[in-house]
Structure 1
Amino acid sequence: MKKNVLIIGAGGVAKVAAHKCAQHNDILGDICIASRSQGKCELIIESVREKGSLKNEGGRLYSRQIDALDIPATSRLIEETGSQIVINLGTSFVNMSVLQACLATGAAYIDTAIHEEPDKICEQPPWYANYEWKYLDACQEKGLTAILGIGFDPGVVNAYCTYAVKHYFDSVDSIDIMDVNAGDHGKYFATNFDPEINFREFTGQVWTWIDRQWVAKPIHSEKQIYDFPTVGEQTIYLTGHDELHSLSKNIDANHIRFWMGFSDHYINCFTILKNIGLLSEQPVMTAEGLEVVPLKVVKACLPDPASLAPGYTGKTCIGNLVKGKKDGKDREIFIYNTCDHAECYQEVGSQGISYTAGVPPVAAAILIAQGLWDVQRMVNVEELDPDPLIKLLDTIGLPTQVQEK
């Protein structure tokens, strides 16, 4: 049984994960939070103690400073802390470094998004083949458990795909993953997670899976209105997203698409920033001779997503609309979760977007610790048995519902 968890990162998602690990430290053991800023880690620890999240009050909860791009230093940290499970919640730029440190030490690896390089966006699909999947053989040979993309989307929605195939369908025609945030943070303009990562998802072309092949479309060129449970009618746009890059390989379906909700105000602000070049990841020179990356400047000017939590109202709804056949008849279901921003803040001091992303990797860590998901190889979530995950999420804050259409 694996124990002791190292959380890398100290943003909003890491804060949620720390609370949830603390709530289950009787299973997970000691918890170390490490980031470039140890001060941010200490603020998370203070929040965990204030909320009384530690189940075993005698359990160890502490912090360390780390540059996760430094593979030897990260390897030493894993060994020094005795961590057998690493939850990588830093920026996706550090995925490959943390994965290599886990390979060097034998610690199980968990992340929530595909690796990215700072100077590249919207790479050729399947994106996982450019980075993570190059380590498939190494993980197999080492017997290393590496679970990729286990946030909510990607992550839980991947499990929803397998769950639908396992329990509801004989064959699947289409899967439409839909993510809407019907909440209100009260700011003029802000993103609910790292602005740099958020904008990079939408500044290139959309790669989507249609008729069992990759199709490129302009961003925000297709939209529809869908009537969601709890949050009602919302406008959603066809976009590219992480989970499509593994689902296209692992799920037998003709079409797999990802849709995200955006308000008209968001689209207007985004379009202006993009069209004047402020969302570019490429450096430019100012008149004063300073080299700056426009996207990083925009990020510095926008609110920290973690700061949005107080006063955030409304709910999120994320789910999969799955169409196919069962016993020779057409079938259509919507399998989903709704999350309340105010309730998340009351429990862990974070908003719902961070909550939906931060709870699933802890669920994965618990399943690894219990041996249910300790598969000793690299996998995407849809390659695992979805039942233990969905059952566990039902009890720790992210219950699943199924709507027969």
Structure 2
Amino acid sequence: MSTVLVIGAGGVSSVCVHKMAMNADIFSSIHLASRTKSKCDAIAASVKERTGVDVATYEIDAEEVPAMVNLIRKVQPSLVVNLALPYQDLPIMDACLEAGVSYLDTANYEPKDEAKFEYHWQWAYHDRFKEAGLMALLGSGFDPGVTSVFTMWLKKHKLKTIRQLDILDCNGGDHGQAFATNFNPEINIREVTAPARHWENGEFVETPAMGKKVEFDFEGVGPKNMYMMYHEELESLAKFNPEMERARFWMTFGDEYIKHLTVLQNVGMTRIDPIKYKGKEIIPLQFLAAVLPKPETLGETTKGNTNIGVIATGEALDGSGEKTFYINNICSHEAAYEETGNQAVSYTTGVPAMIGSAMMVTGKWSGDGVFNMEQMDPDPFMDMLNEHGLPWQVKELDGPVDF
């Protein structure tokens, strides 16, 4: 039985808090804080209606470390769950260290002025968390998060080594909007427009954004165009699986999304450097994010499935030569909305955030320092995926993927 403090009040947070409330035997007291308290109150009202559980709410600027420290000391949680923006990771980690509490997030730190997704800023906190006797768990979402756990489960149960790895993220949902992102618009567009990078022969190889496209037939969705891009779990997967020859990340985008994004990029609306407008400085991408539909409002209209998984090729554990396995989850937007009031993109991140939190507060995952998902035993996490709405399946393929 543990007290948790969740920071952030978007769709992922909504799912995570709902799922925590559904597991009151693990999370005895749930506290929710964000810059906009009304968003926290709306989530708390939904949780109360659906589960009968009370959630305490607060207003907080997560970048103000002293205020965060005061809130943590007031709530006295055993864990702070950071579901705010990646820019806020480091100040929240600073606050956790000062207040003496463990930490979890779903996305690695990114500076505001550069679309640079790297772990080194947070890995640098390892000694401080270790000396404090605290644990920080990084990237407990789906990708990163579940995709890393999938990979390590295959390495534990199916493959002695992994030679090639491909992460496939498909959102087959249709929300009926001309252009909208399924998670935070600012982060989504920064990711998509950044140069693609993949791991090959001991180093990262950079290629133009959206420069490589292939079609793949996703179960539960159908054929979709997917584009190679950079995603942060490639960095940690390469670090903890040094034998890998190649690792790539793929995400599906529809033609309409690509068309709108291309126009927005061409006219400068995806820029992250400030410009002057009527005597004031604004950042075009932040303005664009403000006028786009909020991801948490898309749940009711989004229909279809997501399909996210990994394909790994390597030496079989049983000595039978090289084998290829595909492990994935298919999640229904409609089912996610019925259960939590949020669409499946939020659901597939919010549920793993709850599970990672459960791993920490129950002691199934433990340690002093900063850890990635790859360093933990995948089995109890995989069991909870099956139990809490994200069942997975694994099958052997005829051979390595050729794309």
Corresponding residue number in structure 1 for 2:38:
39
Does 2:301 correspond to 1:311? yes
Q: Which amino acid aligns with 1:161?
A: T
Corresponding residue number in structure 2 for 1:133:
123
Does 2:378 correspond to 1:379? no
What are the superposed Cα offsets for residues 195-241 of structure 1, whole Å, 9 maximum, x if unpaired? Answer: 00001112221121112211000011101111222222211100001
Corresponding residue number in structure 2 for 1:104:
98
Distance 2:338 2:286 in 1: 31
8 Å contact kept, 2:210–2:229:
yes
What are the superposed Cα offsets for residues 158-197 of structure 1, whole Å, 9 maximum, x if unpaired? Answer: 1111111111112211110010000100111100011000
What are the superposed Cα offsets for residues 252-309 of structure 1, whole Å, 9 maximum, x if unpaired? Answer: 31111100001111111111111221100001123x3332111011111100000100
Distance 1:172 1:9 in 2: 36
Q: Which amino acid aligns with 1:98?
A: I
Corresponding residue number in structure 2 for 1:302:
292
Q: Which amino acid aligns with 2:153?
A: Y
8 Å contact kept, 1:38–1:63:
yes
Does 2:73 correspond to 1:79? yes
Identify which of 291, 315, 321 aligns with 1:325.
Answer: 315
Q: CA RMSD in A?
A: 1.2
Q: C-alpha displacement at 1:328, in angstroms?
A: 4.3
Structure 1: segments with no counterpart, 5+ residues: none
Corresponding residue number in structure 1 for 2:247:
256
8 Å contact kept, 1:84–1:106:
no
Q: C-alpha displacement at 1:140, in angstroms?
A: 1.3
| SS at structure 1 position matched to 2:391 | coil
Q: Which amino acid aligns with 2:101?
A: A
Does 2:152 correspond to 1:162? yes
Corresponding residue number in structure 2 for 1:341:
333
Identify which of 329, 351, 354 aligns with 1:359.
Answer: 351
Identity over aligned pairs, percent? 39
Distance 1:402 1:357 in 2: 20
| SS at structure 1 position matched to 2:307 | strand
Q: C-alpha displacement at 1:92, in angstroms?
A: 0.9
Q: Which amino acid aligns with 1:241?
A: H
Distance 1:76 1:99 in 2: 14
What are the superposed Cα offsets for residues 99-126 of structure 1, whole Å, 9 maximum, x if unpaired? Answer: 1111112211000001111111136xxx
Does 2:51 correspond to 1:61? no
Distance 1:43 1:89 in 2: 16
Corresponding residue number in structure 2 for 1:20:
19
What are the superposed Cα offsets for residues 36-95 of structure 1, whole Å, 9 maximum, x if unpaired? Answer: 1111100001111121x24xx5xx521011111111111111111121111100111110
8 Å contact kept, 2:96–2:102:
yes
Q: Which amino acid aligns with 2:303?
A: T
Q: Which amino acid aligns with 1:82?
A: Q
Distance 2:100 2:308 in 1: 34
Does 2:171 correspond to 1:181? yes
Distance 1:368 1:234 in 2: 37
Distance 1:341 1:11 in 2: 17
Corresponding residue number in structure 2 for 1:389:
381
Identify which of 186, 191, 210 aligns with 2:181.
Answer: 191
Q: Which amino acid aligns with 2:258?
A: I
| SS at structure 2 position matched to 1:253 | coil
Identify which of 227, 232, 237 aligns with 2:222.
Answer: 232
Q: Which amino acid aligns with 2:106?
A: T
Q: Which amino acid aligns with 1:333?
A: F
Structure 2: segments with no counterpart, 5+ residues: 398-403
8 Å contact kept, 1:122–1:205:
no
Q: Which amino acid aligns with 2:359?
A: L
Distance 1:94 1:78 in 2: 16
What are the superposed Cα offsets for residues 370-399 of structure 1, whole Å, 9 maximum, x if unpaired? Answer: 111122221000110101100011101111
Greater alpha carbon shift after TM alignment, 23-32 vs 186-195: 23-32
Distance 2:387 2:16 in 1: 15
8 Å contact kept, 1:172–1:253:
yes
Distance 1:249 1:230 in 2: 33
8 Å contact kept, 2:131–2:368:
no
8 Å contact kept, 1:182–1:231:
yes
8 Å contact kept, 2:110–2:116:
no
| SS at structure 2 position matched to 1:30 | strand
Distance 2:38 2:210 in 1: 39
Identify which of 71, 93, 115 aligns with 1:121.
Answer: 115
TM-score by length of 2: 0.95
Corresponding residue number in structure 1 for 2:401:
none
Distance 2:337 2:320 in 1: 46
TM-score by length of 1: 0.95
